[in-house]
Structure formats: C-alpha cells, structure tokens
Homo-oligomer: A and B are copies of this chain.
Amino acid sequence: MSEVTRPSLSDALTERMLELIRTGGHRPGDRLPSTRELSQRFAVTTPTLREALRRLEATGAIEMRHGSGIYVGADIERLVLPNPNMREMRGAQLLELLGARIVIEPPLAALAAGRATGEELAALQRVLVDAARHLRGQDAELHDANMTFHRATARLAGNRVLHEVVDSLLTVHGAEQREILQIFDDRRRDYDEHLAILEAIEARDAAAAEERMRAHLVDVKTVIEQRLQHPPK
C-alpha cells in the first residue's frame, strides 16, 4: 500500500504554529512568544522549532528579527503553506486529483491547438516518440515520459499561470500520480490516447483536442475507480 509522505513532527509543528497565530487573536505586527517559550510549549527542541518557523517565514506568515523577536507577518491572509500542505493530502484523493485534472487540462489542450507553433509541435512529437521507446522499458521512465507529455501540452497553452498549476499538480502529487499510472497499467492505451490528442492539436482542432484530453483523463479515472472497488487479485 502506498504511504505517500509521512507527517513529520515538523510538518505538524508548522500547522500548530499557524493555529496559534490564528486562534491567538494575533494581528499583523504582533510579537509572538520567544523561541524558548515556543519550543517548551510544543515540547520540541530549538532546531526543530526553527525549521517550522523558517517555513512560515518563507511564505510571509511571520518575520524573525535577530535579537528582537518573532512577529506576525503583514499579510495575515497568507497563512497557508502551498507546498508542504498540499503534499499531506493522500490516499483516496487519487480520484480527486484526477477530477482536478479533468477540469483543468482539457481547456488547456484546446488553447494549445489554437496557438502552438510548428516548432513547439515538433517538440511535442519528440516527447511521444521518446515515450514510445519506453513502452517496454522501466516503469519510472515511461511514467516520466507520460508526465512530460501532459506538462508540455500545458505549456503550449501559453498561459504561464495555468502551466504552473498543472506542473505543480503533477509534481506535488507526484507520488499519487505514480500510483495512478501503476494502477492504470495499460501502456498502449495511454500512448494511443496521447497520440490522438497530439493529432488534434496538430490539426488545430481545438474542440477535438479538448474532448480527447477529457476522454483520456476520464478513461483513466474510470479504470482507477473500478480497480479501487474490485482490486485485481
């Protein structure tokens, strides 16, 4: 069974700190307790506490001033940790991850069909050629090639924010994504569907590209749902 990522002590600490700031009625600029007091209150040592604090500092939630204290950041709304937080989502969320991709990626395929240049299309082709080479190779390499296709398609859409979102989804949820591929386990079908998407984009048929990308992801999701209910012996 795939344990994705353990919740480390320091992960939990980060959340407890956020909780402390939120429920403690602290406002931007307020000073928080000292590191000594915090480490005692949370029953961890200084270095461990500091790791949690550094994460909060990196996202702007707090500010650490040498010799002075720890202060609540100006942007109180920023009390979310994008990366470590997302990674803690696990397990049954395979389906939710696919659900998210079903919402986001098809429109991207349509956009890509509308604006991809010849050179970009050639690059996308090479990605698939590369994937074909791994059809009988190692799982890891095939997985990489498949993910590269989705990332590349997202990039062709020409919206950096959306590209970032897809990229981040596939990276942050890399473990889940890998598990999905393992359960899906139909290399040929994956490849064929990718090819169909590429052809639609090459033909600059936005509607077809969108529909094929959606069908592709729905396909995968359907298989995963079945496999989860009736695990193959």
Spell out A's residues near B (CB within 8 Å): 5-6, 8, 10, 28-29, 47, 50-52, 54-60, 63, 65-66, 73-75, 77-78, 80-87, 89, 93, 96-97, 99-100, 103-104, 107-108, 144, 147, 159-162, 164-165, 167-174
Contact = CB atoms under 8 A, between A and B. Distances in A.
A174 B60 CA distance: 12
A78 B164 CA distance: 10
Contacts of A28: 171
Question: Helix, strand, loop or mixed for chain A's interface?
Answer: helix
A74 B167 contact: yes
A124 B129 CA distance: 49
Given A58-B58, A77-B147, 5 more contacts: A55-B57, A60-B82, A73-B83, A89-B161, A100-B161
A28 B172 CA distance: 12
Nearest to A86: B164
A161 B59 contact: no
Contact of A82 (B5, B59, B159): B59
Contact of A80 (B51, B52, B167): B167
A96 B80 CA distance: 22
Contacts of A84: 57-58
Contacts of A173: 161
Contacts of A78: 171, 174
B55 A171 contact: no
Given A96-B161, A97-B161, A77 B168 contact: no
Contacts of A10: 54
Contact of A77 (B6, B54, B57, B144): B144
Contacts of A93: 160-161
B66 A82 contact: no
Contacts of A168: 60, 74-75, 80, 82, 86, 168
A161 B221 CA distance: 15
